[in-house]
Structure 1
Amino acid sequence: MAAPLDDAALDQLFRTARTFNHYRDEPVGEDTLRAIWDLMKMGPTSANQLPARLVWCVSDEAKATLAAAASDSNATKILKAPVSVVLGMDVEFHEHLPTLYPHADAKSWFDGNRELREASAFRNSSLQGGYLILAARALGVDVGPMSGFDAGAVDKAFFADTPNVRANFIATLGYGDTATLHPRNPRPAFETFNRVV
């Protein structure tokens, strides 16, 4: 059994970590993006489905294309962030299961059932999005996940050559500007949203 993480690690991942809308003018290198992927891909998904497909927008052109499909406030965040990422979900993820989950015929569970694939792709790519945030934080990178975009326009701009992939959510990444933070929003006590039965 692994030992619990120390308080400093728990703070960095959860307790003092924040969602950022503004970043310092400091680039996030491709080596860091690859390191985020190498961590997030290790997070558990059902039958190792790994349906997330990421497009890392680092060029001004790519960020402008993404911003054009976002709400006004999100567009500003995207344009100013060092990196923005589109996290898509592949509804044909099952085609990769013979490699990713070789000890069972998991592909057959999803053959001919698009509704099941879509539900599973959404659930598991969302999990991977959470792992993206935690991996980035573990590496000292701040993240600002967001909705507020035209999914059809994002799909057309970034997944036109892979029509089986659809946008789930987008996020900005960088090194957060702590001077712009507002006080932390409240979090409920255990008893508010939990039951032990």
Structure 2
Amino acid sequence: MSLALDATAQDLLFREAQTANTFTDEPVTDEQIQAVYDLVKYAPTAFNGSPLRITLVRSEEARRRLVTHAMGANGPKTLTAPLTVILSADLDFHEQLPRLFPAMPTVKDAFFSELAAREASGTQNATLQAGYFIVGIRAAGLAAGPMTGYDFTGIDKEFFGDGKQKSFLVINIGKPGAEAFHPRSPRLEFTEAATTV
């Protein structure tokens, strides 16, 4: 069965796209990242809450602060990437709901008056948005190196000291460099991953 995307787009976004471990020194501009965001901001989220926040780590000082929380090889990879972003969930995302979800003006108080409910929903929905963000990076002709090997509690204290954002992913972004990709590991087949009930 054919897909709506042509084979070239399928390859760019999925089949040939891999996690990059090295990058060239070609810069990644604010305009490129804004174009990515403008493409992926339509990702589905509960009540259109849109809790994802993107922190662009550009300065050398901020990058060095970030890598103090890195595990293993993630530090050196981050120091040499053209751009690194911290993805986090805004725990006060519900404050935007009257504007973003006007069809149900009471949703803010009905569902998100408790911090635990906001954190659970915000993290889940921001993670969904993060998947779209990675595909958007690929659509821009860039490579993404997403990493969970970081001390996110430390990042939150370092960069979001007010406790209103909860980080969950760090992504290096740029044009892939020499030996950027490891050999592709196998994936589950459809029959292993899917069931019908």
The one-letter code of the counterpart of 1:132 is F
Whether 2:152 is the aligned partner of 1:151: answer yes
Q: Give the Cα–Cα distance (whole angstroms) in 2 for the partners of residues 190 and 72 of structure 1.
A: 33
Corresponding residue number in structure 1 for 2:125: 124
1:32-71 counterparts in 2 under 5 A?
A: 32-71=32-71
Aligned-pair CA distance for 1:36: 1.4
Is this contact kept in 2: 1:36–1:136, CA < 8 A?
yes
Is this contact kept in 2: 1:94–1:110, CA < 8 A?
no
Q: Give the Cα–Cα distance (whole angstroms) in 1 for the partners of residues 152 and 120 of structure 2.
A: 17
Task: Report sequence identity in percent.
Answer: 39
1:89-128 counterparts in 2 under 5 A?
A: 89-105=89-105, 106-128=107-129
Bigger shift: residues 105-114 or 183-192: 105-114
Deviations 1:125-158 (CA, angstroms, capped at 9, x unpaired) = 0011101101110111110111111112211221
Please identify runs of 4+ aligned residues in structure 1 that moved more than 6 A: none
Corresponding residue number in structure 2 for 1:184: 184
Whether 2:5 is the aligned partner of 1:9: answer no
The one-letter code of the counterpart of 1:13 is L
Aligned-pair CA distance for 1:178: 5.3
Count of residue pairs the alignment pairs up: 194
Corresponding residue number in structure 2 for 1:80: 80
Aligned-pair CA distance for 1:171: 0.8
- Which secondary structure state, in structure 2, belongs to the residue aligned with residue 179 of structure 1? coil
Is this contact kept in 2: 1:125–1:168, CA < 8 A?
no
The one-letter code of the counterpart of 1:88 is S
Is this contact kept in 2: 1:67–1:78, CA < 8 A?
yes
Deviations 1:7-49 (CA, angstroms, capped at 9, x unpaired) = 1111111011111010112111111111111122121111111
TM-score (norm 2): 0.93
Q: Give the Cα–Cα distance (whole angstroms) in 1 for the partners of residues 91 and 69 of structure 2.
A: 22
How has the CA–CA distance of structure 1 residues 187 and 61 changed in structure 2, closer, same or farther, with 3 Å as cutoff?
Answer: same
Q: Give the Cα–Cα distance (whole angstroms) in 1 for the partners of residues 16 and 67 of structure 2.
A: 29
Is this contact kept in 1: 2:22–2:179, CA < 8 A?
no
The one-letter code of the counterpart of 2:120 is A
Bigger shift: residues 69-78 or 109-118: 109-118
1:19-34 counterparts in 2 under 5 A?
A: 19-34=19-34
Corresponding residue number in structure 1 for 2:165: 165
How has the CA–CA distance of structure 1 residues 180 and 170 changed in structure 2, closer, same or farther, with 3 Å as cutoff?
Answer: closer
